[in-house]
Every structure is written in C-alpha cells, then in structure tokens.
A and B are shown apart, each in its own frame.
Chain A
Amino acid sequence: MTMAPVYLVDDDEGVRSALSLLLGTYGIRIETFGDPTAFLARAPKLKPGVLLLDLRMPAITGLQLHEKLAAIGCDWPTIICTGHGDVHACRRAFKAGVVDFLTKPIDEQVLVEALQQASGALDVHAERAEAAKLVAQLTEREREVLDMVGRGWSTKEIAEALQLSPRTVDTHRANIAQKLGTTSVAEFARLSLIGQAP
C-alpha cells in the first residue's frame, strides 16, 4: 500500500524539520507549513493527503483549521498533535471528526502507525468517492436494478418485481456493466453498497 502524502502544519520550525527528516527516512512524502492561514489557501490545490495539525498555533487552533479545511472540501483524515495532552481537548478533537490525537513529543512508531491508518482511511475515502461518482452516472431505474443485483436477485426475479420483461432487465444490466466498468456481480454489490452510502 502506498502512503498518501502528509501535510504537517506546525508553527515551530524545529518540529517541522525534525518530523520532516524522520518521516523522510520512512519514505513518506511530507510537506510542511508554518502558517495555517497560508496552508488553508494552498490546500484546495493539493493532492488529497493526511493532515498532521498542531493544536496550539497563533491566531487559529488545529481544530479550527480542521473545520475550515472540511468546509472547503478538504475533509481529509486529520491527526491532531498537541503539547497539552488534556482529556478535554482530546474529547473535543474526536467530536470534531479527527481520526487520531497524539501527544508531543511523538514516538516514531506511534506516529507512523497513525499515519498509515489515516492513509488507509484516505484510501477508503477516495474509493468511496470513486464509487459514488460511478453510481451517480446511473439512471434511477438502473440504480434500482443494481441494488437488486447486489442483493443476489436473478434477472427473472428483478423483472417480476419491477414488472419489466427479462430482456429489458438484461439491457439495464448491460448498461450498468458498461457504466461501472465491470461485469462482476461482487463488484456490483460493493459499488452499490459504498457508492450509495450517505
């Protein structure tokens, strides 16, 4: 599994360069930012990645930054790191949808594991976005048919349920296969499941 890029936002130069060096030894691509506001402006142009945000920064907290990024569509997996390891801030962070909350100084193993998990979450995120995009191409009727195929219904059963001829159902299935780029029923079920999730 390839690691997604990591975007580190921390106002401390020492922390930025040390973490950059450390993650570099793991072959993880990392970009660092000292100014949260500048990052906020850059983020929409960046490739989706994992956000590693310091909680306490001047002018804006890591949590506020996370919320603002989500608001402009960069709702990427976020890890908050802080010198204040208090329970209260931790609770608030998880409430805000942060995937992990790390206390500084961060041990390399803990950090790398957290980043890998977040990267996985980003993959799922990307996969879901892709599936949703594919499913969105289908017509209303095709989506109904896809749903039924996913549930393991036969063409005949679907035709009866929808009061269509089996031929028409087959045509729908052919169109669906073409639009989704697969003829596998298992893949149909997966896309139907994650592509239509809210």
Chain B
Amino acid sequence: MVLPIPDAASSRMRARPTFLRSSAALAGGWLLLVAAFGLYSAESHRQALELDVSESGRALQRAVSQRVAQHDAHLTSLSALGLAQAQPSEDFDLVAKSILRFYPRIVAIDLIRLAPGEGASVVSSATSADGATASPEEVSKAVAALTAGKAAYGADARPGHYRLMKRMNDTMAVSLDIDGAKLVEDEELPRWALLRLATGEGTLLEMGAAAPADTGFLARTIRFEAPIASATQPLRLSLQRHVTLAALLPPLPLALFAAISLAGLVLVRSLLRHRQEAALAREAAEAAARREALRQHETKLAHALRINSMGEMASGIAHELTQPLTALLSQSQAGRRLAAAAGLTDTPVDGVLAANVLQAKRAADILVRLRAYVGRSAPEAGVHDLSRHVADIVALSRIDLDRRGIALDVDLPEGPAPARIDPVEIEQVIHNLIRNAADAVSETGRADGRVRVALTPDAAGHAIRVFDNGTGIAPDILPRLFEPFFSGKPDGMGLGLSLCESIVERFDGSISAENAAAGGAVFTVRLPAADGIEEREEAAE
C-alpha cells in the first residue's frame, strides 16, 4: 500500500480539456467550420469559372484573329486586282461581290481613284444586300491621307463598323467596310458572356449578356482580355462573366454540409463529454480509494498506538512500582536477618517483617501477571522494506504538517532497506518522532519550520534520523528522555518516547537523541539490517 501525496491527484484533475464544453463554443466552432467550407467552395467555384471564361475568351480570340487576318488577305488581292485594271472592270466587281457573299461581315468594298488636285472618286463599289455603305466622300477623304502601300485601320461612324484601307499608289486605293458584330457568330458566344471589342480610341462594340444594373451582395465579375493578333486592325477582345453569390456558393451543398457538420460536432461533443465524465468519475473513485487507504492506515496506526500505549503505561507502572517493591522486599528480608541475629526470631517484630515480605511478593506477583497480560501480543516481525514504510508514514504525517505550515522533507536510499520489523510498530515510532519534531518546531513559532526524515545505511544496519529546527532538548532532560512518565511537554503523559524505545528494542534496535550542531534536535533510530525482503505484506489491500 503506497500512499501518494494527495495534492498531485487533484492538480491532474484540473488539467482536463474544456473543449466544446459550452453551447456557445459549439456554435462558434460550427460557424467557423461552415464559413471555412463556404470559402473553400466559393474559391474552387471561382477558379473553375475563371478557367471557363479564359478558355472561352481564348477560343474567341483565336477565331476573331483568324477572321481579321483574312481581311488582310482580301485587301492584298483586291488591291492587286485594282492596280491591274486601272479602269473599272467587271473582274474587280466580280471578286468583290463573291467576297461579300462568302464573308457577310464585310459589308462593302470600294475602289477609289484619287486625282491629284481634285477630289477622289469612287470607281467601283460593291455593297452587300443589307449593308449600307458609308458616304464615298468620307471614304475618299480618309484614303487620301494614307501613305502608299500600307494597309490602315479606319474608324467608322456607324456603330460596330470599321474600315480597312490601302492606298496602292498616287491614284488608287481600296477600302473594306467591316461589320465587327459579325466577327463573332451567335453560337460561338456563351450565354453568360459579355463580349467587347475595342480599339485604342474606345469601344468598338459590345455584344452578349448585358451586365446587371444591381451587382448584388458579394457579386463579382470575371474578365478575360487579350489583343487580336493583327498588325492592321488594332483590336482588343475582352470577355466578361458576371458571377453572383448563388453561383459561387450553391445553397444546397452548403446547407447539407452545415447540417452534417452540426450533427457531427454535437456527436463529438457528447462523446467527449461522456469520456470526460467517465474520467472524472474514475479519478474521483481513485481519490476516494486513496483517502480510504490513508484513513485505514491512520486507523490501524491509532489502534496500535492505543494498544501499545496501554502496554507501555502498564509496563511503566510496573517498572516504577518494582523499584520501591524491590527495596521493600529486600529491606524486610534484611530486617528479618538482623532480628534473627539479635535473637528476636518468632517475636512480633519478626512477624511484621515476615508479613511485609509476603505482601511485597504478592504485589510482585500482581506485577508479573500485569506484565504477562501486556506482553501477550508478540510483535509480528517479518523482513520488510524500511524505506517503503518510512515513505508511507511520511506521506501520512504530511497531511498534518502541511496544515500546520511545517515543511517535511524525506531522504530515502535508492534501493530497499530490509529489516526485521513489525511495520505497524516501526511506523508508529517514526510517526511519534515526526509529531514530536513538529511540536518542537511549533513551540518556537517560527515561519520556516522544517522537519527532515532521513533513512541511511549505518554500521549496524539502518539509521532513521528525524531532524527538526525547533528549540532542541534541554541538557537536564536529555538523559531522562526515554523514561516512562517523564515528559518534556506540560500535558504529556511521558509515554511516547518510552514506547518508541520499547518498540525499537523489541527489534534489537536502539534509539537516541541529541542536539544538532546547527540547532534543533535529532532523534536516531538504529535497526539491524536483514538479508532480503519477504513480501508477505498486505499487497491485496
């Protein structure tokens, strides 16, 4: 039965986690979890949408770039045709018309003659069925400003239209009128997309889904932007997608996740709570068991003390009475011999002395019976580990000394210290010595009261020393310290140390007291060492 120090247990109990103990903490944890899920979900949706927008945008940019490049090719062949036939010819018209038919985005083709000094004139003009061409004068004016041999972009007044022009020489030029809106076919544009084509000067055209007037909470726009690959037509393509919260954060999965996570958290909490309660209950039960063990130990010790004190008292009384009785008997016997020598045999004086002898012997017999009764309980000596029992009794005494504010230190050897003892009796001795030491310390009233118990090997076996920093022992008291009925305390019976001596001597040990050089008293109990430990102690207790 090893008694741990009770404080260690309660501090361990306090260290339990309080995770998810309150409902507020649970709700907070749940909200955090849902928010984290929401953020993750929105972010992954956004990334998917961005990819979608950029892929669509890139596809459109490729398609528009190809179409715009075709315009350059048309312009080149048309300008060659225009040069070869300085006069208006049917060939040019034929080619122009077929181009217009195959490429509906080119709505008009003009061949222009520039006469130096006078205004330009449109030589030939092909216009698609629905195309309304710009005024020839405007076109001519723009062409006249161009450098020869170079194709150039020209703005157009009509929305979505622009021109691609080329001046072949001083006198000839070609102009294409292009409807930008037809660069992209309807089915190529995703439903969600807002497409914008722009030049350096501003927006050329916008088509597709219109941006909503109210962008809404947390709504945002995903945008793709890239230049159209063309040297002659400086266009930029941008594709936008308007994204609402609902698109980023689909409500159904979120709600599902929220419900499942809430249920999970509640379950985890109840499990934790259950485990925590079980652990607390177990700790409480352990603490109760320890207290009970300690109490039992105390009871056992108190019982032994009562029995032993009674024995010590009887034995003390016997010893005290024996001395005068010895004197009485011997004196009476001497008296009878003296009377006989004086010839007083069979006189009343001799009779009185004879009666005294008889009564003294009778009293002695009573003492013998008393001692026999007291000494009936033979000690239960076995080989035990002194170290363990010193530790036990120190743990037990610590409760009392803690309450009195006295420090209690203990030095024990590493290994076991086997001795032939009755553990309860020897514990009683140490308990007595510790209590005496604590009383001596209390008497001084000092705040740094300290009692130290040390078990060390000794020449004869083991030495248990109990040190205190109390007043020490007065020199006149020192030699009588272990006498029965002699007490240094005002309310003491004078049996404690006498009992200690009796017990220690019963196990072939000795006890002594002295004043320490540093002040205070030292009590030393010496016990012979035994060979090994017979473990026949109450292990199952």
Contacts and interface: CB of A to CB of B under 8 A. Distances in A.
A and B from one complex: yes
Nearest to B371: A85
A104 B326 contact: yes
A58 B319 contact: no
A12 B323 contact: yes
Interface in B308-338: 315, 318-319, 322-331, 333-334, 337-338
B338 to A, nearest CB: 6
B331 A104 contact: no
A105 B480 contact: no
Interface string A14-38: 1101110110111000000000000
A105 B368 contact: no
B328 A22 contact: no
A187 interface: no
Contacts of A108: 330, 333-334, 337
A128 interface: no
Contacts of A105: 322, 325-326, 328-330, 360-361, 364
B400 interface: no
B330 A19 contact: yes
A133 B323 CA distance: 42
A18 B327 contact: yes
Nearest to A56: B319
Nearest to A63: B505
Interface residues of A, number: 27
Nearest to A95: B508
Contacts of B341: 25
Which of B330, B375, B482 has most chain A Cβ within 10 Å? Answer: B330
Contacts of A45: none
Contacts of B330: 15, 18-19, 21-22, 105-106, 108
Contacts of A89: 505
B506 interface: yes
Interface in A84-106: 84-86, 88-89, 92, 103-106
B149 to A, nearest CB: 138
Contacts of B322: 83, 104-105
Looking at A12, A24, A83, the one whose CB has the most chain B CB atoms below 10 A away is A83
A104 B323 contact: yes
Contact of B334 (A22, A56, A88, A104): A22
Interface string B360-373: 11001001100100
Contacts of A104: 322-323, 325-326, 364
B479 interface: yes
Contacts of A140: none
A161 interface: no
Contacts of B328: 18, 105
B323 A83 contact: yes
A27 to B, nearest CB: 11
B50 interface: no
A113 interface: no
B334 A21 contact: yes
A12 B483 CA distance: 13
18 contacts: A14-B327, A18-B331, A18-B334, A21-B330, A22-B330, A22-B331, A22-B334, A25-B337, A25-B341, A56-B319, A58-B483, A83-B319, A88-B506, A103-B368, A104-B322, A104-B326, A105-B330, A107-B361
Given A22-B337, A105-B322, 6 more contacts: A14-B327, A17-B327, A19-B326, A22-B333, A104-B326, A108-B334
Interface of B: 315, 318-319, 322-331, 333-334, 337-338, 341, 360-361, 364, 367-368, 371, 375, 479-480, 482-483, 505-506, 508
Q: Please list the 7 inter-chain residue pairs (A to B) with the smallest Cβ-Cβ separation, ordered nearest first.
A: A83-B322, A14-B327, A22-B334, A18-B330, A18-B327, A25-B337, A105-B326
